[in-house]
Amino acid sequence: MKIKTFILACLLTPFMAFANYEKPVTWSYSTKSVSDSEIELILTATIEKGWHLYSQYQNGMALPLVITLEPNSNYQIVGTSKYFTEPKYTEHYNADFDDTERFLVGKADFKRTLRIVGNSDFELKGNIEGQACIEGRCVPLSEHFMLNVKGNPNATPQQPHGTTVTKTEIDTVPPVEKTETTTLTTTNTEKAEMSLWLFFLLAFGGGLLGILTPCVFPMIPMTISYFMKHGGKKQAIFYGFSIVFIYVLIGIVLSAIFGQGFANFISTHWLPNMLFAFIFIIFAISLFGYFEISLPSSWINKSSSNESRAGYIGTFFMALTLVLVSFSCTLPIAGAVALGAAGGGFLKPIIGMLGFSLAFALPFTFFAFFPNLLNKLPKSGGWMNTLKVCLAFVELAFALKFISVPDQAYHWGLLDREVYLSLWIVIFSLLGFYLLGKIRFPLDDEQPVQKSWFKFFLVIANFSFVVYMIPGLWGAPLNALSGWLPPMSTQDFNIKEIVYDGAGHEKPVGLCDHASFSDRLQMVTGLNGYFDYDEALACAKSSGKPLFLDFTGHGCVNCRRIEQEVLSNSRIQKLLNDKFVVCALYIDDKIIELPEKLQIKDNKGNLISKLGIKNTYIQNTLFQENSQPCYIVINPEDESILSGPIFYETNVDVFEEFLKKGVENK
């Protein structure tokens, strides 16, 4: 479930001083003198083993650490950066969000230099807000601190309210060292490594496809023949290494472009996504044969003229010439690898180009050692153009994914789920008809389409995929494609919901009356429930059913996993709809304002008027919990716990027992 457009902001409140719930990060505070007029404020975070604290520089999907100082006329902040200095962070690729997270583990000092401009002693106050996570759940952090600071007897106050004094600092460049894709736990390590290995294998497969294109495949026997007559096996090996070197060099350049800042830019901005979609469409049109993308002929001629040089220099330029000559065929494939690496950190473009080039160089080296096997290769022909056209259809489908990202983020409404699926169904149907010979493109041969068993089974597989997608137009989940499709909440026509609404009931099953905010928040498809605790509690009291509380969040990855793997299960849904009143409480919602009747006051008498703050306060005060996902069954009469809490539990049987226990204890 890759959801790039979630608004991730686990809301942090000052109501976190309860002894029984998790507090994985403890803080200590100190100051030290830097000069007669300056001090260094040091905030030390001690993070429990297995947990991690997100960095201030986390600009992707996860919630960053935010440290603020309360204004005071007795000090000035030295520098213009909004960040405290922090130790080097760890980077970890999150495959579910296709995002790179930055976090700290163990112990971390956050430092800031302050200039004392007041004569009298004063209290330095501030707040820390952030998020700590462990495998399976996350908890919000909120901390208030206060230190006594001595005044500077030689100073005269100059600027009020903690303004800054100029010192050159740049916010956009983290003043820390970075490490590449190391990990917090064994599980996270395996996921990160698996993701990079999978990308390497996909890139390797792209290289193999590149070999089969019309620009490259006919070159194999000619190149091998040259080495057998002139260079021998050593020259062939160097030729292969030269190809790898050229592509890896391209990968290094892309890494400089597609670094972490660019990754965050991709995940939040429409411009790169629409640009990538446009590039994929251009690649597809080129592969269809309507025009050719080629490099200037002067580049190719210059490289070719150096091939006559003796020794390894000439061999290197032979490899460079191959890369340039094959550009029109390989660019759409290598370009897809490059764009797939964008947003994956420093290593991903290099790994992608390494995988692509190893496969691309393999036949030129392999057949130099086993030249007799050249006779086993299929002859060049129309099948190579067929491969190009097939790739064109695939790239056209991939272009829609890049359009879908900003469409969801900016609420354009262009690619709702059924529109997206309709386009995919049409694209892959046309691919099937092309393989059957019913459609031709400019570079296709005029002779009858070659009949082959491989193409026959490819047609079957393609149309089977089309048939699989069709039920999605009516709301079928299509779990195998969940990472590629827009969320179900964008589906305009969902037959399952229509069946519920048209079952002859004025009110949905499980609801006593209309659920507030149902137009802005989504319940798991197939479940009916509330989004406000007081409304759900009132319904549970009147119906005599236990109340099932789902403490969730917009950006909670593990919440999405539970929803897909557990809460969408038919047994669980029947139990929840028949035996419970369901309430989904979004902890991290920052936008929704509560109507006056649903507003509450905290234990200090402060009015809570936002839904997210109310849900956080309820979870903390009533249940002494602060992590998500969190599931609790309570008795609506006295709000006592009947079952749970239960957290990240993907076993349907265990979750079912948890629910049944709540019913039995009622």
- Residue 151 pLDDT grade (very low, low, confident, very high; cuts 50, 70, 90): confident
Predicted model pTM: 0.46
Helix (H, G, I), strand (E, B) or coil at 492: coil
**Tell me: the pLDDT tens digits for 72-117?**
888 988 877 778 988 888 877 766 555 678 889 989 999 999 988 8
Query: Residue 3 burial (CB < 10 Å; 0-12/13-18/19+)?
Result: buried
- Residue 659 pLDDT grade (very low, low, confident, very high; cuts 50, 70, 90): very high
Residue of higher predicted confidence among 359 and 494: 359
Q: What is the pLDDT of residue 61?
A: 59
Tell me how far apart the 2 most distant CA atoms of the chain are, in Å: 95
For residue 101, what are its two tokens?
């997270």
Residue of higher predicted confidence among 227 and 163: 227
Average pLDDT over residues 193-221: 73
Q: pLDDT averaged over the chain?
A: 75
Q: Return the CATH superfamily for domain 512-665.
A: Glutaredoxin (3.40.30.10)
| 614 vs 372: CA distance, rounded Å | 75
For residue 408, the tally of other CB atoms under 10 A from its CB is: 20
Residue of higher predicted confidence among 195 and 249: 249
For residue 168, what are its two tokens?
């050159």
DSSP 89: B
Residue of higher predicted confidence among 228 and 260: 228
| 12 vs 647: CA distance, rounded Å | 19
Sign of the Cα pseudo-torsion (250, 252, 255, 256, in order): negative
| 523 vs 83: CA distance, rounded Å | 37
- List the beta strands (DSSP E) in 280-373: none
Given a cut of 50, whether residue 191 has pLDDT beyond it is no
Query: Does the N-terminal peptide bond of residue 349 adopt cis geometry, omega within 30 degrees of 0?
Result: no
Given a cut of 80, whether residue 393 has pLDDT beyond it is yes
Q: What is the pLDDT of residue 257?
A: 63
Nearest to 473 by CA among 491, 448, 450: 491
Residue of higher predicted confidence among 201 and 10: 201
Average pLDDT over residues 408-428: 82
For residue 425, what are its two tokens?
């169904």
Counting residues of the chain whose pLDDT is more than 90, the rounded percentage is 14
Report yes or no: 182 and 91 within 8 Å, Cβ to Cβ.
Answer: yes
**Tell me: the pLDDT tens digits for 559-592?**
767 887 888 888 999 999 889 999 999 887 767 8
Q: What is the pLDDT of residue 177?
A: 38
Query: Does the N-terminal peptide bond of residue 629 adopt cis geometry, omega within 30 degrees of 0?
Result: yes
DSSP 590: -
| 521 vs 430: CA distance, rounded Å | 37
The helix (H) or strand (E) run that includes residue 274 is helix 270-288
> What ranges in 151-231 are assigned the alpha helix state H?
186-211, 219-226
Q: What is the pLDDT of residue 584?
A: 92
Residue 140, beta-bridge partner list = 131
**Tell me: the pLDDT tens digits for 116-135?**
888 888 889 898 888 888 87
Q: What is the pLDDT of residue 269?
A: 59
Q: What is the pLDDT of residue 44?
A: 93
Q: What is the pLDDT of residue 501?
A: 55
Q: What is the pLDDT of residue 2?
A: 35
Residues ≥6 apart with Cβ < 8 Å to 84:
43, 56, 67, 110, 111, 112
For residue 301, the tally of other CB atoms under 10 A from its CB is: 11
Report yes or no: 44 and 107 within 8 Å, Cβ to Cβ.
Answer: yes
Taking only Cα atoms into account, the Rg of the chain, rounded to an integer number of angstroms, comes to 30
- Residue 43 pLDDT grade (very low, low, confident, very high; cuts 50, 70, 90): very high
Average pLDDT over residues 256-271: 55
For residue 214, what are its two tokens?
């019309």
Average pLDDT over residues 169-198: 43
**Tell me: the pLDDT tens digits for 601-633?**
887 788 888 888 898 888 888 887 777 789 999
Given a cut of 60, whether residue 261 has pLDDT beyond it is no
Report yes or no: 196 and 348 within 8 Å, Cβ to Cβ.
Answer: yes
Q: What is the pLDDT of residue 180?
A: 36
Q: What is the pLDDT of residue 20?
A: 41
**Tell me: the pLDDT tens digits for 515-528?**
888 877 778 877 88
Residue of higher predicted confidence among 485 and 163: 485
For residue 18, what are its two tokens?
């309860």
Residue of higher predicted confidence among 9 and 49: 49
Q: What is the pLDDT of residue 353?
A: 83
The per-residue b/e assignment along 251-274, b for 16 or more CB within 10 angstroms, e otherwise, is beebbeebbbebbbbbbbeeebbb
Residues ≥6 apart with Cβ < 8 Å to 155:
37, 116, 117, 118, 119
Given a cut of 60, whether residue 14 has pLDDT beyond it is no
Q: What is the pLDDT of residue 208?
A: 81
Query: Residue 506 burial (CB < 10 Å; 0-12/13-18/19+)?
Result: exposed
Q: What is the pLDDT of residue 445?
A: 61
Q: What is the pLDDT of residue 250?
A: 78
Helix (H, G, I), strand (E, B) or coil at 161: coil
Domain boundaries, the chain: 25-165, 195-377, 385-493, 512-665
For residue 269, what are its two tokens?
């901005």
The helix (H) or strand (E) run that includes residue 581 is strand 581-586
> In CATH, which of 2.60.40.1250, 3.30.420.40, 1.10.540.10, 1.20.120.1200 is domain 25-165?
2.60.40.1250
Residues recorded for the chain: 666
Residue 582, beta-bridge partner list = 529, 548
- Residue 21 pLDDT grade (very low, low, confident, very high; cuts 50, 70, 90): low
Q: What is the pLDDT of residue 545?
A: 92
Q: What is the pLDDT of residue 255?
A: 63
Nearest to 659 by CA among 651, 558, 518: 651
Counting residues of the chain whose pLDDT is more than 70, the rounded percentage is 69
Least confident of 198-212, 264-278, 414-428: 264-278
- Residue 206 pLDDT grade (very low, low, confident, very high; cuts 50, 70, 90): confident
Tell me, rounded to whole angstroms, the distance of Cα 248 from its chain centroid.
Answer: 25
Given a cut of 80, whether residue 147 has pLDDT beyond it is yes
- The owner of tokens 């269809």 is 288
Q: What is the dihedral of CA 514, 519, 522, 528, to 10 degrees?
A: 20
The per-residue b/e assignment along 450-478, b for 16 or more CB within 10 angstroms, e otherwise, is eeeeebeebbeebbebbeebeebbebbbb
| 75 vs 149: CA distance, rounded Å | 10
